[in-house]
Chain A
């Protein structure tokens, strides 16, 4: 034991230990990335299983069909007749149909303002009271009038009406069933869920006239396809990368895939051969969606309120008809109806790579944590380093003496004010783009972005010039700037990794060059190369590149982001502008920095 201690103490003094961190950081990043790519292998992912035994998916006979098809056709005619009508007229008609079924109907207005646009509409919903229930729990069936792509959800709404009529006949419901028709797929459900939990801003969203108990689950139908379908697509991404309980997805997969014998796809992987490339692609798509944190359907708004929800979309050409889709919903509702408790199994953090394969948080989290840790390691190394005199300055003085007698790098005092002030300033400056892009009207978003991107390229140069001109920072101060900036970044990312793994990993990888940035006063080539590299991974540049890759307009992306910010509180812009951008700015300024020698600085002070 004492030998071990003395060994450790000796190691601490070893100068080589200070050379280690950059290599350690590289290792962390490499391991993190490799880890990610190992996940789709059989050894690291697991088969899905139903953890909540009460669900019993696919264990009941479903009876929806037969003459309900005649009713469905009639409702389809009714829906078709409403195609070009206004939201209010549609809801009037739906209300009269649903009231005819003997259900209570409520309506709710909402108006959202975002990027100079107004998003308003009226939700209509009906509550089927559980025949013997006591209004303590409820499950929701949603059909948006228009889906996320803006297509008319004709079959979905007609199916919702038919199912409402069908469910009314059963006496086995233990929970109330809420049938919700919203004019659009994002704002409408959001307004409804907010109001249901009394978390709404009453200036924009009306309160609900009718309410039931605690929501236990929600299923959204997105059924725009007119022809018969082959498989169903389960959309599960929630707002801010939150996911519904995996048990719900497993139940739908089990019922649709197992009981109904139709295919099930996730993440728009229409064909999936369950091999490594397809699994990896599915996982990466899921991570990208999770990282962006956008709402992907009417179900997304439910998830932040701990209401597990998925959207079911039919796709492909096959022989399954509307009744089969209805039976999938029926089966899922019967499963949810069995629930004695809220879905609570630790099944909220996962990456799906095929409909029946997943990795759990314990397996994938180290990947993002390692990437985040590389910043922290470097930050601590820089802090330690900044407390010693640079070796080249002292090397001559101590050349004759041995390392054991006198430490090679004597301790020096740290000048904290400038680095702290600079990093804090960068953090505060980040509020400017955050505010601008979330509050500018849509028409000026694209020009605003262009101007900002250009300014963003010039900003490090201006700041660096300003810094060297007025403060003449030393190498130590540059080290401290890097240290603080990386420390913050590492801290933010590691805490973010527990909330939104994908976003943390994405930002972590894009900011990983920052770990290795340092001033290059002697080498203009290196300096230029680093500056170019940094400009390539700047938030603005990444945005432009991804817009070009997916052939989207910058304006549209920014409008979406502003809408998401205003309507459903997406926090990705905060991460981009208040975590990523300040770190990038500090890194860029460091690269362009021209550290003054410590002695010259002291001289300047003396004079």
Chain B
């Protein structure tokens, strides 16, 4: 009976769902782009995009749009939301430009920025609080720790990605919060996958395994929600979920049951036999293997289990970016489509079959003299990023410090104009007058010619962090040092975290590169060409030696409390035996009366006693 019902239910459901799914097939896309990078790394970009019309959204009619998130957005009046979970470092020197031009990544930890509908700043703050707390529960991240000291309102750095009708612009508030110390891990991945229509059960999301994702050299999970208004048609609310990760091929290929990199047996070592001293027991390693063979199941630990039935059939689910000359093996039934540019190819997957892909090592790599060159031939050449940025602390000691950012423009003929944004904790008090930009190799300060605009919102102790936005430019083929000094505050001893001596994380600086001036009129409306984040920093503040004075404080307090308590008791209280004292259990008027009576009696008795004694 039950089986029958469930069958009935299922068939009913499929009747209801199926035609609609077919009609709305373009509402959900997913795609995985794999790109081998130099130094035996592999970039895997997962992209999931779905949308719902604004009217359906407002009518609480969610389809591909995750309901849990949609309700939060509606409750907090959020127009546009960007959430980032990142870990590791992007090695721009060898991997080149960032995926998505840096638009889908954040600094280490968690980053959140959103445009909220609110009449006043206070209302915006209130809604922001609601939003962070709700998201914190949804994503199992400490987003609720984004309080006023970690929230800023960027003026120049962020532009809305979606289309907002002009009427609401004045009531839209941009708030930006960042948690650099948050460790991103599997508990953040699970809710992320739950937002997908296929929940990681089918399609490319089956490859997402916490073990592999968090063993990546760099990874970034992003959620972007924005209203999109196409020129023809209804406005839609689009949610785009992106996971980018760079896997170390050698490390990923290690079997899961034996993750320890034990030294291989001597005969398995790949040696450089050309060395004169080469012998059985002497081996100059040549096994740093660029372009080694890999397959999906080796790298991700599993194969792709079919396609998600809800996805748009016109978008190929897997793409691989390698030169056309390289051969790739794929499982039966899949179709390869080479793109016209010669640097990428995409695969159509059968809906129910498992998909496996093997990229064999290029055959002539071993013979070529120059290993690095051979490696580059067999890869799509990484694009040079528009700007390299590196930030570090200068100085030492517990009182003052400095921050130095080295910005290098690799382009020989193009000037780069960008906005450099720092949101610093309040206990780093920067000296704005020390902010200075100079070009390497040139003496003197070129502050005025390099720094064009500074927006500075000073910190308020324990209430608000420092916000610094600098619009500046780097001339072609030059390196600019941007430096400023700061003073470290002394915290109250209750304000230190349990791991006080670790230091305090300082969030990554956000660098937003603007498109060149000729295309757009005003500086505020200029589109973003590229975004990058520096690494986060660890700022050590003067920390009391909690282990010793702390013990002393606790010990003396305890001793004083004990001694004082005892002394005070002896001085103030009168000690009587239990049967002599007033009965505590009596309550109300009767009790009080009895009490008074007892006292009177006691008074008489004692007088009598006293008289007796004198006699």
Identify the A interface with B (CB < 8 A).
51, 63-71, 73-75, 77-78, 100-102, 104, 129, 131-137, 165-166, 169-171, 197-199, 211, 213-214, 305-306, 340-342, 344-346
Question: 26 interchain pairs (CB within 8 A)?
Answer: A63-B263, A66-B262, A66-B265, A67-B266, A67-B269, A67-B283, A70-B283, A71-B269, A71-B285, A73-B282, A74-B275, A74-B278, A77-B277, A131-B88, A134-B87, A134-B536, A136-B536, A171-B215, A197-B394, A198-B396, A198-B402, A305-B396, A306-B396, A344-B501, A344-B547, A346-B547
CB-CB under 8 A from B517, the residues of chain A are none
Q: Residue B501 contacts which of A69, A170, A342 (CB distance < 8 angstroms)?
A: A342
Other than the given A306-B396, A341-B499, 15 more pairs (CB < 8 A) read A63-B263, A66-B263, A66-B266, A67-B283, A71-B283, A77-B277, A134-B536, A136-B536, A136-B537, A137-B538, A166-B263, A214-B538, A340-B499, A344-B501, A346-B545
CB-CB under 8 A from B395, the residues of chain A are 197-199
How far apart are the CA atoms of A100 and B370 in the complex, in Å? 12
CB-CB under 8 A from B499, the residues of chain A are 340-341
B188 on interface, CB distance cutoff 8 Å: no
How far apart are the CA atoms of A64 and B285 in the complex, in Å? 15
B337 on interface, CB distance cutoff 8 Å: no
CB-CB under 8 A from B217, the residues of chain A are 129, 131-132
Contact A100 B265 (CB under 8 A): no
When C-beta atoms are compared, the residue in chain B nearest to A70 turns out to be B283
B389 on interface, CB distance cutoff 8 Å: no
Contact B281 A73 (CB under 8 A): yes
CB-CB under 8 A from A51, the residues of chain B are 547
Contact B262 A63 (CB under 8 A): yes
Contact B263 A64 (CB under 8 A): yes
Q: Residue A74 contacts which of B264, B285, B503 (CB distance < 8 angstroms)?
A: B285
B467 on interface, CB distance cutoff 8 Å: no
- Minimum CB–CB distance from A318 to chain B (whole Å) comes to 21
When C-beta atoms are compared, the residue in chain A nearest to B266 turns out to be A67
CB-CB under 8 A from B108, the residues of chain A are 134
List which B115-167 residues lie within 8 A (CB) of chain A.
Answer: none
Contact B89 A134 (CB under 8 A): yes
How far apart are the CA atoms of A72 and B248 in the complex, in Å? 24
Contact A213 B537 (CB under 8 A): yes
How far apart are the CA atoms of A135 and B217 in the complex, in Å? 12
Name the residue among B108, B214, B285 with the largest chain A CB count within 10 angstroms.
Answer: B285
How far apart are the CA atoms of A306 and B392 in the complex, in Å? 18
Contact B548 A346 (CB under 8 A): yes
How far apart are the CA atoms of A68 and B39 in the complex, in Å? 22
Identify the B interface with A (CB < 8 A).
39-40, 87-89, 91, 93, 108, 214-217, 248, 250-251, 260-266, 268-269, 271, 275, 277-278, 281-285, 288, 390, 392-396, 402, 404, 499-503, 505, 535-538, 540, 543, 545, 547-548
Name the residue among A165, A169, A197, A305 with the largest chain B CB count within 10 angstroms.
Answer: A169
CB-CB under 8 A from A341, the residues of chain B are 499-502
When C-beta atoms are compared, the residue in chain B nearest to A210 turns out to be B390
Contact B284 A171 (CB under 8 A): no
When C-beta atoms are compared, the residue in chain B nearest to A73 turns out to be B282
How far apart are the CA atoms of A69 and B281 in the complex, in Å? 8
How far apart are the CA atoms of A261 and B372 in the complex, in Å? 43
Contact A67 B263 (CB under 8 A): yes
Q: Residue A63 contacts which of B214, B248, B261, B502 (CB distance < 8 angstroms)?
A: B261
Contact B277 A74 (CB under 8 A): yes
Contact B285 A133 (CB under 8 A): no
CB-CB under 8 A from A104, the residues of chain B are 93
Contact B282 A135 (CB under 8 A): no
How far apart are the CA atoms of A117 and B198 in the complex, in Å? 73
Name the residue among B250, B269, B548 with the largest chain A CB count within 10 angstroms.
Answer: B269
Contact A211 B266 (CB under 8 A): no
CB-CB under 8 A from B216, the residues of chain A are 132
When C-beta atoms are compared, the residue in chain A nearest to B38 turns out to be A102
How far apart are the CA atoms of A77 and B268 in the complex, in Å? 21
Contact B88 A133 (CB under 8 A): yes
Contact B275 A132 (CB under 8 A): no
Contact B501 A129 (CB under 8 A): no
Q: A66-B266, A73-B281, A132-B216 are in contact. Are A213 and B538 (CB under 8 A)?
A: yes
Q: A129-B91, A131-B251, A136-B538 are in contact. Are A65 and B263 (CB under 8 A)?
A: yes
Q: Residue B282 contacts which of A64, A77, A345 (CB distance < 8 angstroms)?
A: A77
CB-CB under 8 A from B266, the residues of chain A are 66-67, 70
- Minimum CB–CB distance from A309 to chain B (whole Å) comes to 15
Q: Top 4 nearest A-B pairs by Cβ distance? A: A169-B261, A66-B263, A341-B501, A198-B394
How far apart are the CA atoms of A165 and B545 in the complex, in Å? 38
How far apart are the CA atoms of A520 and B284 in the complex, in Å? 79
Contact A136 B281 (CB under 8 A): no
Q: Residue A100 contacts which of B288, B540, B545 (CB distance < 8 angstroms)?
A: B288
How far apart are the CA atoms of A100 and B372 in the complex, in Å? 10
How far apart are the CA atoms of A367 and B535 in the complex, in Å? 49
Contact B262 A70 (CB under 8 A): no
How far apart are the CA atoms of A118 and B535 in the complex, in Å? 38
Contact B285 A165 (CB under 8 A): yes
Name the residue among B216, B281, B284 with the largest chain A CB count within 10 angstroms.
Answer: B284
Name the residue among A66, A136, A345 with the largest chain B CB count within 10 angstroms.
Answer: A136
How far apart are the CA atoms of A144 and B404 in the complex, in Å? 29
CB-CB under 8 A from A100, the residues of chain B are 288
When C-beta atoms are compared, the residue in chain A nearest to B262 turns out to be A63
Q: Residue B275 contacts which of A77, A129, A169, A214 (CB distance < 8 angstroms)?
A: A77
Contact A135 B263 (CB under 8 A): no
Contact A74 B547 (CB under 8 A): no
How far apart are the CA atoms of A165 and B263 in the complex, in Å? 11
How far apart are the CA atoms of A305 and B536 in the complex, in Å? 21
How far apart are the CA atoms of A214 and B285 in the complex, in Å? 32
CB-CB under 8 A from B285, the residues of chain A are 71, 74, 165
Q: Residue A67 contacts which of B265, B393, B505, B547 (CB distance < 8 angstroms)?
A: B265
CB-CB under 8 A from A199, the residues of chain B are 395-396
- Minimum CB–CB distance from B188 to chain A (whole Å) comes to 14
CB-CB under 8 A from B402, the residues of chain A are 198
CB-CB under 8 A from B501, the residues of chain A are 341-342, 344
How far apart are the CA atoms of A74 and B268 in the complex, in Å? 16
How far apart are the CA atoms of A147 and B550 in the complex, in Å? 42
CB-CB under 8 A from B281, the residues of chain A are 69-70, 73
CB-CB under 8 A from A344, the residues of chain B are 501, 543, 545, 547
CB-CB under 8 A from A65, the residues of chain B are 263
- Minimum CB–CB distance from A158 to chain B (whole Å) comes to 12
Contact B547 A132 (CB under 8 A): no
Contact A342 B540 (CB under 8 A): yes
How far apart are the CA atoms of A134 and B93 in the complex, in Å? 16
How far apart are the CA atoms of A166 and B262 in the complex, in Å? 9
Q: A71-B283, A74-B285, A341-B501 are in contact. Are A171 and B540 (CB under 8 A)?
A: no
CB-CB under 8 A from A198, the residues of chain B are 394-396, 402, 404
When C-beta atoms are compared, the residue in chain B nearest to A348 turns out to be B545
CB-CB under 8 A from B535, the residues of chain A are 134-136, 213
When C-beta atoms are compared, the residue in chain B nearest to A102 turns out to be B39
CB-CB under 8 A from B283, the residues of chain A are 67, 70-71, 73-74
Q: A132-B217, A341-B499 are in contact. Are A214 and B540 (CB under 8 A)?
A: yes
- Minimum CB–CB distance from A108 to chain B (whole Å) comes to 15
Contact B536 A211 (CB under 8 A): no
How far apart are the CA atoms of A74 and B260 in the complex, in Å? 24
Name the residue among B108, B248, B282, B402 with the largest chain A CB count within 10 angstroms.
Answer: B282
Name the residue among B503, B543, B548 with the largest chain A CB count within 10 angstroms.
Answer: B503
Contact A67 B264 (CB under 8 A): yes
Contact B547 A135 (CB under 8 A): no
CB-CB under 8 A from B503, the residues of chain A are 136, 214, 342
Q: Residue B547 contacts which of A64, A71, A101, A345 (CB distance < 8 angstroms)?
A: A345
How far apart are the CA atoms of A74 and B502 in the complex, in Å? 40
How far apart are the CA atoms of A126 and B540 in the complex, in Å? 25
- Minimum CB–CB distance from A341 to chain B (whole Å) comes to 4
CB-CB under 8 A from A342, the residues of chain B are 501-503, 540
CB-CB under 8 A from B392, the residues of chain A are 211
